[in-house]
Amino acid sequence: MAPAPLTTRREMLRRALAVAAASTLNPAGAAAAAVVTTQDVVAPSSSKAKGDVAASDVPSARPSHPDDPPTRVTATGRIIAIGDLHGDWRKTIGALSTAKVIAVNELDEVIWTGGDTCVVQVGDVLDRGDHEIAIVKLLRDLDKQARKEGGAVHMLNGNHESLNVCGDFRYVTPGAFAESALYSGLQEGELTDWDLLARVRYAVYRPGGPMALELAKNPTVLIVNDTAFAHGGLLPVHANYGIEKLNADVAAWMRADTTPDGGKAAPPFLAMGDSSSVMWNRTQSKEHFPSPNERYTSCRMLSQALEKIGATRLVVGHTPQLSGANCECEGQVWRLDVGMSYGVLNRPVQVLEITRDKDGKDTMAVLSEGGECLASYDEDGLPL
């Protein structure tokens, strides 16, 4: 049941932001928080998968946490990259079906059929669509199934995940407000109280809240074999800081970890603080460079960052590509956000498939709905 429409979207935003800005929840909000903090998303074990490696390039200022996300993993089979999903259940199923990693059985259950395939979703599951939590739960469940066959399903944190943990609900749909309320334990009859819906969502997604704890398990940067994945982009400053430490910092903030001085972990600036951060950066994800000089500078910075972290290429989302999935910088960056969500451009599904031959050479293929291969490229981004 969808909630009754609010008078204006602006009023819904005003109420949500007022809750997020408050230092404490009012009694009704506290009651909602008490409800939601007893809930949890069923998730796979926090133990690291085979092939994960510990932070080594830059030491962390705090001890590692058992629930810190992985930074480097090994894939023995195909690698599938999926762009921004933005709460669109139908396109999520479409992307997974295009990648040939799922089937739906007679009980309408989604079953993993991808064997040892490694799937990476590059962030922005949240906002602009109604089925955010359902998609998170689906991908977690598929990860559990995949790991039994040597595969995996990874989600990254994007800028819209960070916005929600910050309490910024500008892009949340009425249906997603309702979904988080039902997840917290509210009943359908309570979904007409928009003040309550905003308080509940804040409690669900604030640092230390149940969905923030779930998102804390997602890396911000992930390297699979020699392919790096990030939502927005990677600059030398991120690589120099250390991507293991960056992942740990984001997780600590989302978990509301206590710092040595007794405070709470702060939002990490390099991950999400401004337009040059990993989640917000568009240096590599913009579809067209305005000048040859900017292209040279962007590609040069990317090469430096990749060399520092030991990767060959980067796959990003974040910026819709009107021409479809594409590559630049001689194949060093792949841009994968095609605006497929109905809340963005409602474009056809595309996913990126990376396969490795017996000689260790990678081939990148852009797959469209139905599994059709639109184009294949070699490691230098040249068509095959």
Distances (CA, A) of 147 to 37, 96, 113, 144, 247: 28, 16, 12, 5, 22
Catalytic site positions = 160
Closest of 60, 78, 141 to residue 115, by C-alpha? 78
Specify the pairing of strand 362-368 against strand 373-377: antiparallel
Distance in angstroms (rounded) separating the CA atoms of residues 312 and 295: 18
Q: Hey, CA dihedral for 359, 365, 367, 373, is it positive or negative?
A: negative
Distances (CA, A) of 24 to 165, 186, 252: 16, 21, 21
Over the range 113-152, which residues count as b (16 or more CB within 10 Å of their CB) and which as e? Answer: bbeebbbbbbbbbbbbbbbbbbbbbbbbbbbebbbeebbb
- Element (H or E) spanning 4, and its range? none
Closest of 72, 106, 92 to residue 136, by C-alpha? 92
Distance in angstroms (rounded) separating the CA atoms of residues 196 and 29: 7
Q: How far apart are the first and last CA of the chain?
A: 49
How long is the chain?
384
Q: What is the DSSP letter of 88?
A: -
Cβ pair 335, 267 in contact under 8 A: no
CA 51 and chain centroid, separation: 21
Specify the pairing of strand 362-368 against strand 227-230: unpaired
Closest of 217, 222, 218, 219 to residue 311, by C-alpha? 222
Distance in angstroms (rounded) separating the CA atoms of residues 237 and 166: 24
